Amino acid sequence: MRLVQRKGLKKAMAATSRKLAVILKRQWRDGTEFGWTTESLPA
C-alpha cells in the first residue's frame, strides 16, 4: 500500500509482478518447492 501511495498503482503493480517473476524463475531454475513457513529458507 505504501508503494501505491508513493509511486502510483501502475508502477506498484509492475514492481510486484517483477518481484514475483524473479522469485518464480529462481525456484524453477533451482528446482526448489514453495513453502509457506520460514523453516524451508536457508539460514
* Higher-confidence position of 32 and 37: 32
Q: Quote the pTM value.
A: 0.61
Residues in the chain: 43
Res. 3: pLDDT tops 90: no
Using CA atoms, how far apart are residues 8 and 41, in angstroms rounded to an integer? 32
Other beta carbons less than 10 A from residue 23's beta carbon: 11
Sequence-distant (6+) residues with CB within 8 A of 27 are: 33, 34
Res. 19: pLDDT tops 80: yes
Confidence of residue 21 (pLDDT cuts 50, 70, 90): very high
Cell numbers for 19: 518481484
Q: Where are the alpha helices (DSSP H) in the chain?
A: 2-7, 9-30
